[in-house]
Amino acid sequence: MNSARLKMIISMAIFGTIGIFVNFIDVPSSMVAVCRGFTGAIFLCLFMIFTGKKISLADIRQNFIRLMITGCLIGINWILLFESYKYIGVANGTLCYYLEPVILVFGAAIIYKERISPLKAICVAIALLGMVFVSGVFPPQEGAALNGFGIALGLGAALFYASVVLLNRGIKNISSYDMTMVQLFFAAAVALPYVLITEDVTAITFDVKTVILLMVVGIIHTGFAYAMYFGAVRELKGQDVAVLSYVDPMLAIVLSMTLLGEEMKVWGILGAVMILGSTLLSELKK
């Protein structure tokens, strides 16, 4: 196994464990997003300095508006994803989030006039049907009404991340590290006022456990994982990146069921297979 593949697997494995860590952080999801963004941005900045990578202020200025917008969307995306964990668990929240490729297909067709192939259309239909099974709406399952709000949060996170991917296509002539560092900063910046408006900040306490977990999520799951991920993406083919990306959701589901005791019914498991299988099939064909 070459180093690029190993980097990709490690970064995806790290991303796949974030739900477990967030589950044990006793502060609001919006505060987790603030800490994650600022810590990750600072880590990437220090990473670039110590590895001799130049921070191009000219490139950042040239793409500043798009970087600001996408960074804000990332912040909202984090808040929605972490909130979905509270309502439907890490496994189902991750599955909802992995409908992002489906949203991306329609977004690209509308914005960039990309053609939707017959195979792509079939994969989208299978993924959507899988989402129905995961939601518990059909066949009817106990707690489906409550799950609806959590699923809406997860799908909202997927929608915002798909928007980031589409907008990132217009960001030119800038390194991945510069782009991500600025986006993480704005992700935290947009989450901060949300925290101040919606939360009683004086009631939020940071014990030793919370501080350690926030540092881990900010440094390891954000700064370190992004740095390793972008290093691997530059060396791997797109198909390899697509296939290895499925380490993330599969690990998240396994860990949530073994460590958190989350349970998936037969229909939920079928839905998970349909969602992940259809998007993987689409990427493999491409």
Percent above pLDDT 90 for the chain: 28
| pLDDT confidence bin for 209, thresholds 50/70/90 | very high
pLDDT higher than 80, residue 179: yes
E-strand ranges in the chain read none
Q: Which of 279, 105, 80 has the alpha carbon at shortest distance from 194?
A: 80
Cis omega (within 30 of 0) for bond into 118: no
Sequence ranges of the domains in the chain: 3-285
Q: What are the respective helix, strand and coil percentages of the chain, to the nearest 5?
A: 80, 0, 20
pLDDT, one tens digit per residue, over 29-71 is 889 999 999 999 999 999 899 988 889 999 999 999 999 999 9
The pLDDT value recorded for residue 65 is 93
Give yes or no for a contact between 36 and 226, defined as CB atoms under 8 angstroms apart: no
pLDDT tens figures, 93-127: 888 887 777 787 788 788 877 787 788 788 778 87
Instruction: Tell me which residue has tokens 């067709």.
Output: 109
Q: What CA–CA distance (Å, rounded) separates 149 from 119?
A: 31
